[in-house]
Amino acid sequence: MTDQSLDARAERAGIMPSFKDLFGETQVTTAETKAALLTAMGLADRDLPEPASLPFWHVCEPSQPVGIVAPEDWTLTLEDGTEQEGRGPLPTLPLGRHLLQSAGAQCWLLCAPGKLDLPPRLWGLMAPLACLRSAAEGGLGSYDDLAQLAEAVGGAGGAFVGINPIHAGFPTEPGGFSPYTPSHRRRFSPFYLPTGAQAAQPGPILILPEELPARLHALEAEYHASDPGDAFERYLAHEGAPLHQFATHQALSEKLGTYWDKWDSAYQDPTSDQVAKAARDLDDRVRFHAWLQYRTEGALSEAQSRATASGMRLGLYLDLAVGTHPSGAETWADRDNFAFGASLGAPPDAIAPQGQNWHLAPFNPRHLEKTGFEALALTLRQQLRFSGALRIDHILGFERAYWVPDDSPGAYVTMPREAMLAIARMEAARAGAVIVGEDLGVIPDGLQQSLIDSGILGCRLTMFEHAGDPPWYKAPQDYDEGVIASFSSHDLPTWKGWRDGREVKTRVELGITPAEYLDDTLAWRGREVASFDGATEPYREDAPADGLEALASFLAATSARMVAIQVEDILEMEHQPNLPGTVWEYPNWRQRLPVGVDGIANAPLLAKTARIMKRAGR
């Protein structure tokens, strides 16, 4: 037993005692859930420390007074490793994460700009990288395809090309292909390296159990035939132990199975003697997986260079998944930064009355604070090495994250919002990049204002931007300035599909939605479409209401600094890339585009969209 009660320990750990759901009902966190979440944080049967003479972290700005007083003599370790000692006021600090120690306590000083500059009025294209190649071309889309697409969009006046996450996945498990369930978010997928490999009979749907082994086999042949020379050796030396550990995990997963929690216990510890011996025994395989990262980072760097050389202001617009697979390479190497025994998810709502469990390991906020948010900083920095803009999926998790224990109802865990936003500003400032926070859903009070204050762009989906009922739509001039506006997203209907109620019909066809709701739902969609057609009328000139030109003209006229058009709309596709709530019932992330990069580049609607955006000053 401990001196602190369960309720007191849960409150100190940031576990919210209750919350209001989408329907306004108060949901109370049960004792079982509190105990389970404390265990997931590594705080079971432990009293949390009393407040010290210094806070765990403090946000300040470069070259400005730090705004915190050390109680006694202090030691300050700057991010570059240099140390200063003193007493009294602290010196002004450069950008970075710095450690203050005084009176037996420590405080991380997170020195970041108070607000990022907003980008000018820009537009760009969103595209699914894996599916960029047509059925006739076959194979997976590649980083070279991405570079060619960026050159085409840049030549048309676009500022960015956005893609889904390209984190390292699971080479031995084709079923684990969702870009939002990665194995490691600081490593990249080599499956997008250009090779001639493809499934035996390419079709409109990617056959991943054939595509991925074919791609890997081709890369193995290239590895054995190549001599990367000194450049590869310098890369290995620079990346050091973290890369070796990742490559060791990949080699072990080929031998022991995809998920490390199923391995013999000796191999579950990356620092064990058995793992060290296995790394030596599998040396060539470990080196191969390191070489894949070397090649992948080189390909990404080239793609970004080609994008910006084409005239793009931002180039690649990458996407950071909200969490990582609980049994992937990231959690194997970095156990302390994650909570185990609980998953990220979402509380019950109208779309998922039973709630959602995303089967993703959440960051442990207490360990993040202890380490000065190092894991978050490194993860953001790695993505920003190869991009001019980065989308942070479900940035609501910077405010509070919904954790679902294995055997109990879920609850919200408060996250250190101001510190995490400071880390995002810090890394964006280092890279000279734009940060976009996906702030859709039930928004905690104050979060969107904090994003505005930070210069981090929010997301606005036109299909949901209602300004009253029946569904009147917000006028373009009423959009917030600090956002990226688009009609929908990869999880939602395309422009053509929305107008036809395609996702509504698909859910009925798959048995997800009862058939008796179909007529009423489609009738409501008809009212939405008619209302939106009325909203676009002043902006579309002679374009038909159901044409993409009408939508593009409306988006171009918004106050939003960034506007995104989806390639599925440029190609007048009906089916959306991903249908939430399905796994294999719907071909999520696997629908090839009807044409390849050349077809997109020459699509009449891309040229028309470019003219509309230019006319609107984008």
- How does pLDDT run across 100-141, given as a tens digit for each residue? 999 999 999 999 999 999 999 999 999 999 999 999 999 999
Cβ–Cβ < 8 Å for 518, 505: yes
The residue ranking higher by pLDDT, 536 or 346, is 536
Q: Is residue 99 part of a domain?
A: yes
Structural domains counted in the chain: 1
Query: Who's near 212: CB < 8 A, 6+ residues apart?
Result: 171, 174, 177, 191
Quick check: 237 pLDDT over 70?
A: yes
144 token code pair: 């070279």
Q: Is residue 63 part of a domain?
A: yes
Burial call 360-371: b when 16+ CB within 10 Å, e when fewer: bbbbbbbbbebe
Q: Is residue 481 part of a domain?
A: no
Give the closest residue to 418 by CA, choosing from 60, 30, 14. 60
Q: Which amino acid is at 113?
A: P
Q: Residues 604, 608, 610, 616: what is their CA dihedral angle, to the nearest 10 degrees?
A: -170
Q: Is residue 98 part of a domain?
A: yes
DSSP state of 595: S
Mean pLDDT of 426-440: 97
- DSSP letter string over 322-356? S-B-TTSHHHHH-GGGB-SSEEEEE---SS-TT-E
Quick check: 246 pLDDT over 80?
A: yes
Kindly list the distances between the CA atom of residue 416 and the CA atoms of 35, 382, 447, 452, in Å, as whole numbers in the listed order: 21, 22, 12, 17
Mean pLDDT of 504-510: 96
pLDDT at residue 265, as a whole number: 96
319, HSE (Cβ side, Cα atoms, 13 Å): 21
Cβ–Cβ < 8 Å for 559, 480: yes
Quick check: 317 pLDDT over 60?
A: yes
Q: What is the pLDDT of residues 448-477, one digit of tens each?
A: 999 999 999 999 999 999 998 778 999 999
| Banded model confidence at residue 48, pLDDT cuts 50, 70, 90 | confident
Cβ–Cβ < 8 Å for 247, 240: no
Mean pLDDT of 130-158: 96
Cα end-to-end distance, the chain, whole Å: 63
Quick check: 45 pLDDT over 80?
A: no
Q: Is residue 597 part of a domain?
A: no
d(CA 366, CA 377): 15
d(CA 97, CA 111): 6
| Banded model confidence at residue 348, pLDDT cuts 50, 70, 90 | confident
Give the distance, in angstroms, between the CA of residue 457 and the centroid of all CA atoms in the same chain: 14
Cβ–Cβ < 8 Å for 530, 506: no
pLDDT at residue 539, as a whole number: 95
The residue ranking higher by pLDDT, 352 or 331, is 331
Q: Residues 582, 586, 589, 591: what is their CA dihedral angle, to the nearest 10 degrees?
A: -170
d(CA 275, CA 241): 14
pTM over 0.75: yes
For residue 13, the tally of other CB atoms under 10 A from its CB is: 18
Cβ–Cβ < 8 Å for 495, 489: no
pLDDT at residue 1, as a whole number: 38
Q: Which amino acid is at 580?
A: P
pLDDT at residue 362, as a whole number: 96
Sign of CA dihedral 439, 445, 449, 451: negative
Helix extents (H) in 258-341:
265-268, 273-281, 283-309, 329-333
d(CA 4, CA 2): 6
Burial group, residue 54, by CB count within 10 angstroms (0-12, 13-18, 19+) = buried
Mean pLDDT of 502-530: 95
Give the chain's mean pLDDT: 95
pLDDT at residue 351, as a whole number: 59
Q: What is the pLDDT of residues 65-94, one digit of tens each?
A: 999 999 999 999 999 999 999 999 999 999
Local structure of 512: helix, strand or coil = coil
Local structure of 536: helix, strand or coil = helix
Mean pLDDT of 573-577: 97
Burial group, residue 85, by CB count within 10 angstroms (0-12, 13-18, 19+) = exposed
Q: Is residue 101 part of a domain?
A: yes
Quick check: 518 pLDDT over 50?
A: yes
d(CA 608, CA 618): 14
Kindly list the distances between the CA atom of residue 168 and the CA atoms of 176, 214, 567, in Å, as whole numbers in the listed order: 11, 17, 24
Q: What is the pLDDT of residues 54-65, one digit of tens each?
A: 999 999 999 999
Q: What is the pLDDT of residues 177-198, one digit of tens each?
A: 899 999 999 999 999 999 989 9
Mean pLDDT of 295-308: 98
- 468 membership: H or E segment, kind and range: none
Give the domain range for residue 72: 57-111
Q: What percent of the chain has pLDDT over 70?
A: 99
Quick check: 402 pLDDT over 80?
A: yes
